[in-house]
Chain A
């Protein structure tokens, strides 16, 4: 079979007039060399001779087609939506998926909570940061950065029956919103109550300083139960358990300690590609361009990435690879995501496969 194909390759070249005089001569010698060759040649010639007729459309519809084209020429460019679906269909589909996901994730949680209410554990977990900043993920997916020489203590069943923690030293809290379960942090002399915010809490000697970066925090001293509401951009100091004194926060670097001697942040700085993932869809639009749409997601805790460069490699039918780069102008903030879209100029190529990788990124430093 393999050799048949080789022979027919030669026959095809002969029949289609690819051979020069000398090659034709050789070919004719080859035909006459064996009856087998003759038979192959005759069969192929018969096919060739009987395939010369070109099909033609019976009716010339140029007039009608011109009018059709003309009206399309005057229309503004169509927006092609994913897989030919309408935007509404996609939105509906997305909502269905979202609702199912939410149900799926919430349902077991609810059941677990009901069960654990009966068996409340009194055990506490205590985390101490030595000479490195520690990052702690609480069971309710709140995040805490614990400064060096500080300690955070919370109940083993944290999140199941209230969210209470206590702090010695300094920590930055990023609290997952849950209005049914207030999040409280106690120091020796103060109490902080929040619903879902980000704030920094520092205990230094007998002074406790609260700085809020997002949302609102209720702050009170132990000697004076009066709660003070501290908003984003403000800070409050409670001296020795007294009523906190609120003021505007001028120190934009109040939480910069999180990036100093923090091994996690060092890793994020060294290897941005490890913290960024690109998810994308790829399709050909009506004019046969590859359209790539996707999202770059950062799982970095602290580093903001700028100048993210995506490397798009696509494989052409002839086996050659082309590389196109796409720089994302937006900064990909820690833990955030950024959408991107790219159209390739591969109109004449039936691109076989395509890959998008994160090539490089720089850590945005201006903020620190």
Chain B
């Protein structure tokens, strides 16, 4: 079976490149690295194109491969990671349509996510941003469902630890407000 032509390949690249770059970018938080990762994914696909059937599975394959490469990139570049270097102004809503003005807490949560260990971060992002089920995350990253389950718990715990001062301050503010409102009712 002959593989796809270069024109077919270009079509697929144009269709998926942007979203894959964004996926990788959310993992690695480095624009050049994210684009390189996606290039490697496509290059590898091209090298192995013979006998390949570009059906509807291609999207799944590209997604999986990109998540893998990005996670491996995180693991191997731990020491020189540039987490937190890039300004957070590229935040957009997960719906992707509407620009939002970001609350301070959102920015703080984002940098806390960037401080999570690689695997933990990847799992959390796949769940939160891509809306994947645990079984789908397990399949994407070649992990067991148990690991995904545990890592999700660890992610929330670490984020909570990291963000504790901010969470508590808000919590306190709300409590004080509520107390004040109740107090004003009684007086």
A 38-64 binary contact with B (CB < 8 Å = 1; else 0): 011011101110111111111011100
Known: A16-B152, A18-B134, A57-B25. A72 touches B39 (CB 8 A): yes
Contacts of A62 in B (CB 8 A): 13-14, 17-18
Number of interface residues of A (CB under 8 A): 52
Instruction: Write the chain A residue with the least CB distance to B144.
Output: A318
- Determine the distance from Cα of A360 to Cα of B143 in the docked complex, in whole angstroms: 33
- Determine the distance from Cα of A48 to Cα of B35 in the docked complex, in whole angstroms: 28
Contacting A at CB under 8 A, from B54-76, are 64-65, 68-69, 71-72, 75-76
Contacts of A318 in B (CB 8 A): 142-144, 147
Q: What's the minimum C-beta distance from A151 to chain B, rounded to whole angstroms?
A: 62
Stretch at the interface among B77-85, B88-96, B176-184: B88-96
The answer, yes or no, to whether A348 is at the interface (CB within 8 Å) is yes
Contacting A at CB under 8 A, from B93-145, are 93-94, 96, 100, 102-103, 105-106, 108-110, 113, 119, 124, 127-129, 133-134, 142-144
Contacts of B110 in A (CB 8 A): 51, 53, 55
- Chain B contact residues, majority secondary structure: helix
Query: For chains A and B in complex, what number of residue pairs have CB atoms within 8 angstroms?
Result: 167
The answer, yes or no, to whether A106 is at the interface (CB within 8 Å) is no
Contacts of A55 in B (CB 8 A): 22, 25-26, 29, 88, 90-92, 110
Known: A46-B105, A51-B113, A54-B94. A9 touches B152 (CB 8 A): yes
Q: Is the CB of B13 within 8 A of A69?
A: yes
The answer, yes or no, to whether A251 is at the interface (CB within 8 Å) is no
The answer, yes or no, to whether A260 is at the interface (CB within 8 Å) is no
- Determine the distance from Cα of A344 to Cα of B114 in the docked complex, in whole angstroms: 31
Contacts of A4 in B (CB 8 A): 157
The answer, yes or no, to whether B170 is at the interface (CB within 8 Å) is yes
Number of interface residues of B (CB under 8 A): 73
Q: Is the CB of B113 within 8 A of A44?
A: no
- Determine the distance from Cα of A287 to Cα of B45 in the docked complex, in whole angstroms: 10
Instruction: Write the chain B residue with the least CB distance to A74.
Output: B6
The answer, yes or no, to whether A11 is at the interface (CB within 8 Å) is yes
Q: Is the CB of A42 within 8 A of B171?
A: yes
A 295-311 binary contact with B (CB < 8 Å = 1; else 0): 00000000000000000
- Determine the distance from Cα of A72 to Cα of B38 in the docked complex, in whole angstroms: 13
Contacts of A65 in B (CB 8 A): 13, 17, 21, 35, 38-39
Which of A8, A50, A350 is packed against the most chain B CB atoms within 10 Å? A50
Q: Is the CB of A53 within 8 A of B94?
A: yes
Q: What's the minimum C-beta distance from B129 to chain A, rounded to whole angstroms?
A: 5
Q: What's the minimum C-beta distance from A47 to chain B, rounded to whole angstroms?
A: 5
Known: A16-B127, A18-B134, A57-B22. A47 touches B163 (CB 8 A): yes
Instruction: Write the chain A residue with the least CB distance to B130.
Output: A54
Contacts of A39 in B (CB 8 A): 171
Q: Is the CB of B128 within 8 A of A51?
A: yes
Tell me which of B26, B40, B64, B152 contacts A287 (CB under 8 A): B40
Known: A51-B109, A53-B110, A348-B68. A9 touches B90 (CB 8 A): no
Q: Is the CB of A53 within 8 A of B156?
A: no
- Determine the distance from Cα of A44 to Cα of B155 in the docked complex, in whole angstroms: 10
The answer, yes or no, to whether B149 is at the interface (CB within 8 Å) is yes
Known: A12-B156, A16-B128, A72-B43. A50 touches B22 (CB 8 A): no
Q: Is the CB of A52 within 8 A of B128?
A: yes
Known: A16-B127, A318-B142. A47 touches B103 (CB 8 A): no
Known: A53-B94, A62-B17, A66-B10. A13 touches B43 (CB 8 A): no
Tell me which of B38, B47, B71, B155 contacts A12 (CB under 8 A): B155
Contacts of B108 in A (CB 8 A): 50
Q: Is the CB of A317 within 8 A of B142?
A: yes
Q: Is the CB of A73 within 8 A of B144?
A: no
The answer, yes or no, to whether A24 is at the interface (CB within 8 Å) is no
Q: What's the minimum C-beta distance from A200 to chain B, rounded to whole angstroms?
A: 55
- Determine the distance from Cα of A42 to Cα of B46 in the docked complex, in whole angstroms: 48
Q: Is the CB of A56 within 8 A of B22?
A: yes
Q: Is the CB of B160 within 8 A of A13?
A: no
Taking A54-B92, A73-B43, A350-B75 as given, write out 5 further A-B residue pairs in contact, using a Cβ cutoff of 8 Å, ordered by the A residue number: A55-B88, A73-B9, A318-B142, A318-B143, A318-B144
Sample of 15 A–B contacts (CB below 8 Å): A8-B153, A8-B156, A8-B160, A12-B155, A50-B105, A50-B106, A52-B93, A53-B106, A56-B25, A57-B22, A57-B34, A69-B43, A288-B72, A318-B144, A349-B142
B interface residues with partner A (beta carbon < 8 Å): 6, 9-10, 13-14, 17-18, 21-22, 25-26, 29, 31, 34-35, 38-40, 42-44, 46-47, 64-65, 68-69, 71-72, 75-76, 88-94, 96, 100, 102-103, 105-106, 108-110, 113, 119, 124, 127-129, 133-134, 142-144, 147, 149-150, 152-157, 159-160, 163, 167, 170-171
Per CB-CB distance, the 5 closest pairs between chain A and chain B, nearest first, are A9-B153, A12-B152, A8-B156, A50-B109, A8-B153
